Amino acid sequence: MNHPEPAAGPVLVTGGCGFIGSAVVRAFADAGREVRVVNPRCRPFRDDVQFLDLDIRNGAGLAEACNGVETVVHCASVVQTRNTAQHEMWEVNHGGTRNVLDACRRGRVRKLVHISSASVVYEGRDLEAGDEGLPYAKASLSAYADSKIAAEQDVLEFAAEGSTSACALRPHLVFGPGDTRFLPNILRRADGAGIREVGTRSKLSDFVYIDNVVDAIMAAEDQLEPGTPVCGQAYFVTNGEPIAFFEFVERLLTAMGYPPVRKRVPYWLAYAGAGLVEAFHSVVRTGETSEDGLSRFAVRYLNTHHYFRIDKARRDLHWRPRTALEQGIQQTAAAVTR
């Protein structure tokens, strides 16, 4: 007698009120899964989702939240290219991830999809068609990248224990409706003094539309089983359509009715200015601050190639980016101007 497959169990999403996390929550809830969100000071946005006002630095609370959970999607992260919040980044990005791993052990969670970053392999030099064979960056460029490296290493080592099937996804410059960081920063500048292009458009960057990231997360969760090629692996997740950073910004702005980018700042001047701004912040500010692109890490990032192959994700996850870059740009512009 054939027995029906058991229904997929609950999904817990850390950082489920953030840009990526909220999109993941909606996708799993729409698919009929029971979803729990772990996020401090989060305003619930769906009646069919359980929202827990909980910081992942609270290990005991996180372990309790993971009871009965089949899959954890770990999105929670502090993202900042300056180092004024390095204490918070290490506490959340690395320490919080270690709490997630412990909660998975204690709660006998079957699957873990960890959202890492493509910056874990970036050393300030050109990366052209990089793949997962690249080593972790040894040059420390920011506390964010360093903390994400440590977190991803812990996740992949944890996968080898065999108690929870785990993998890491490395999205690069995620954009789309609901963005709370990248797009708002661009619009603030466009509405203020205007966008100033840094350097030239000779360097290419990868971007990835939010729906493609969510698809990759759900595909990874579906493929994660003991003994499969996915367990213990990291995957770059991009649109696979590299483009100059300010070409992308200009396309997005013109789709929203803004004029083309006309102003330009030489690389050396932007880098020196970013150094002065960072020095100022190191003296008068600590903790998280709003991102404005004025960090040496960001300026260097804008003026190096950083794009990646996605063959491994296509092969192992049976995933492909279904929303093309231009379609994503138009959908983002329509959502913002609606």
Residues tagged active-site:
144
Where in the chain does DSSP place strands (E)? 11-14, 35-38, 49-52, 71-74, 111-115, 127-130, 165-171, 174-175, 196-198, 204-205, 208-209, 234-237, 243-244, 263-265, 306-308
- Report the DSSP pairing between strands 204-205 and 243-244: antiparallel
The structure tokens listed for 331 are 């959908």
Could you give the CA distance from residue 247 to residue 228 in angstroms, rounded to a whole number? 39
- 24: buried, middle or exposed (CB in 10 Å: 19+, 13-18, 0-12)? buried
Q: Give the distance from CA 12 to its chain's centroid.
A: 17
Q: 3-state DSSP call for residue 19? A: helix
**Contacts of 189 by beta carbon, 8 Å cutoff, 6+ apart:** 195, 196, 292
d(CA 235, CA 310): 8
- Are 39 and 53 spatial neighbours (Cβ–Cβ below 8 Å)? yes
Q: Pairing mode, if any, of strands 71-74 and 111-115?
A: parallel
- Name 81's Cβ contacts closer than 8 Å, sequence gap at least 6: 142, 144, 291, 295, 297, 298, 301
**222: helix, strand or coil:** helix
Residues whose CB is less than 8 angstroms from the CB of residue 89 and which lie 6 or more positions away in sequence, other chains included: 78, 80, 143, 144, 147
Burial of 172 (0-12, 13-18, 19+ CB in 10 A): buried
